[in-house]
Structure 1
Amino acid sequence: MTDTLEHDDLANESVRLSESERSGNPRSLGAAWAGVLLAPGTIITGMVAAGGSVGPGFAVGFGGLATGIIIGTICVALISVRGPRTGLAAMPIGRLAFGAANFLPQIFLLFSMIAYDSLNDLFGVNALADALKIPFGVALACIVAVEVVVVVFGVRLMRVLGLVLSSIMLVVSIWLIIGARDVTPDPMPVGTNVMPAVLLAVALGLSMSASWTVQACDLSRTLPARTSPRGVVVWVFIGMTVPLLVLTGIGA
C-alpha cells in the first residue's frame, strides 16, 4: 500500500504545473470554456428536447434543458477550484482521493470524449466541405490538422481560440436569433403527460454539462495558486452556461 501511494505521489508530481508555468486570470476560463462548448451538436440537442411538432414544445424542452445544464455547470465550476490550488488535472486529483478505483471515471472520460469529438468533427467536416465545395477527405484533413496544432500548443492556444470562437459564435447566434424571430415555437400537445419529456430534457442538459466534471480542473490548473476561488466558480459557470443555453435555445 505504501509503495502504491508513493508511486501515485511521484506520478502526480510529474504532471503538476509549477507556479512558474501558470498565468492568466479567471476571466480567461470563461472564453476557454465557451470555445470548447460552442458546437453544432448542442443545437441538435435543443431540437431533440423540444420534440418539434410532436412535443413537448419549447417551454418544457428548454426548461428541462436549462435545469440540467445549470446543475451540471455548477458542479463543474465548484470542482474547477481545485485546479489552481493543486496544479493538477481532474484525473490525477481523483487518483489522490480514490486510488486505483479512479479507473472508472478514466474509462468514462475516454469513451465520452471519443463520442463527443467524433460527433462534432463530423458536423465540422461536413460544414467545411459544403461551404468550400471540397472533398470530404480534404475537409477531414483540415479539421484534424487544426486539432493537432491545438494539442501541440496546449491550453494557452485554447484560450486564444476560445476568445476568437466565442466572438464569432456570438455574431452567429445573434444572426440565428434574428432570423428565427418570426418562427413560432410548436405548442405543447394537448392531453399529454409531459413528465417523461421533462426528465429527458433534464437528462440531456446534465449530459452536456455534468459530463465535463471529469475534466473540470484541466483548464483552471493553468491559473496561479493565488487565483480567487470565487472568480473561478463565476467565470467557469458563465463560460459554460451561456453558450449551452443559447445554442440549445436556438435548437428548441
Structure 2
Amino acid sequence: MSLPYAHEETAVAEAQRVFDGRMPTAPGDLRVEARGITPVPEDARYGSPRRLFTVWFAPNLTMTGVFTGTVGAALGLDFATALLAVVLGTLLGAVPTAYLGTWGSQTGAGQLPLARLAFGRAVALPGALQWLSSIAWDALIGLFGGDALAQLCGWPFWAGVL
C-alpha cells in the first residue's frame, strides 16, 4: 500500500466520522447541522417554497418598507404609479436572487461553496462587500426606523434612534 493511498483512506475515514452525525430531518428539528459545506444528499433535503416565503418575508417587515412606500409620494407620483414602481423595482431586484437561490436546492450546497464556483478564492472580495452592505443596511433600518418613531411620538431624532 502506497503512502498517498493510505492518506486518502485516512481522509475518507475522517470525513465519515465528522459527517456521520445525526442531521435535522424536518422543519422544526433543532439539531445542529453538522454536514458543513458538503452537499446535502437528496434523501436528506426537506422544505417547501411556502416555508422559505416565511423565512424571507418576515425579516423584510421593517421600517425601510414604510420608507420605500413613501418615496413615491415624496417624488410627486400618484398612488398607482408609486405602487407600480415599488412592485417593479422589487421584482427586478428579486429575480437574480431568486435564480441564484435555486442553485442550492439543485446542488445541495450552501451559498459559500456555490460562490466559490464563480469566484474561486477571490470570494473574499464579494464576501467583504456583502458584510459592508449588511452593516449599511442595518444602519439605514435603525436611522429610518428611529426617525419614524421620533416623528410619530414627537421625540428628538436621537431618542427615536436609541
The TM-score bracket by the shorter chain reads 0.5 to 0.7
Q: Which residue of 2 aligns with 1:16?
A: 38
Q: Which residue of 2 aligns with 1:26?
A: 49
* Conserved 8 A contact 1:50-1:62: no
Q: Which residue of 2 aligns with 1:57?
A: 78
* Larger relative contact order (Cα-Cα within 8 Å, sequence gap ≥ 6): 1
> What RMSD, in angstroms, separates the aligned Cα atoms of the two structures?
3.5
Unmatched 5+ stretches in structure 1: 1-12, 141-252
Q: Which residue identity is paired with 1:85?
A: Q
Q: Which residue identity is paired with 1:51?
A: A
Q: Aligned to 1:105, what secondary structure does the other structure show?
A: helix
Cα-to-partner distance string for 1:111-138 (whole Å, 9 max, x where unaligned):
11112223334537x86xx99xxxx99x
Cα-to-partner distance string for 1:170-196 (whole Å, 9 max, x where unaligned):
xxxxxxxxxxxxxxxxxxxxxxxxxxx
* Conserved 8 A contact 1:50-1:58: yes
Cα-to-partner distance string for 1:225-252 (whole Å, 9 max, x where unaligned):
xxxxxxxxxxxxxxxxxxxxxxxxxxxx
- Alpha-carbon shift at residue 17 of structure 1 (Å): 5.5
CA distance in 1, matches of 2:50, 2:36: 27
* Conserved 8 A contact 2:40-2:109: no
Farther off after superposition, 42-51 or 97-106: 97-106
Give matches, 1:1-252, under 5 Å: 14-16=36-38, 18-19=40-41, 22-51=45-74, 55-121=76-142, 123=145
TM-score by length of 2: 0.57
Q: Which residue of 2 aligns with 1:173?
A: none
* Conserved 8 A contact 1:51-1:57: no
CA distance in 2, matches of 1:32, 1:16: 23
Note closer, same or farther for the CA distance 1:97–1:47 as it changes in structure 2 (3 Å cut). same
TM-score by length of 1: 0.39
Give the percent of matched residue pairs that are identical in Structure 1 and Structure 2: 31
CA distance in 2, matches of 1:35, 1:17: 27
* Conserved 8 A contact 1:50-1:60: no
CA distance in 2, matches of 1:80, 1:118: 26
- Alpha-carbon shift at residue 99 of structure 1 (Å): 1.2
Cα-to-partner distance string for 1:77-128 (whole Å, 9 max, x where unaligned):
221111122333333312112213433422221111112223334537x86x
* Conserved 8 A contact 2:40-2:108: yes
CA distance in 2, matches of 1:39, 1:17: 33
CA distance in 2, matches of 1:59, 1:36: 26
Q: Which residue identity is paired with 2:134?
A: M
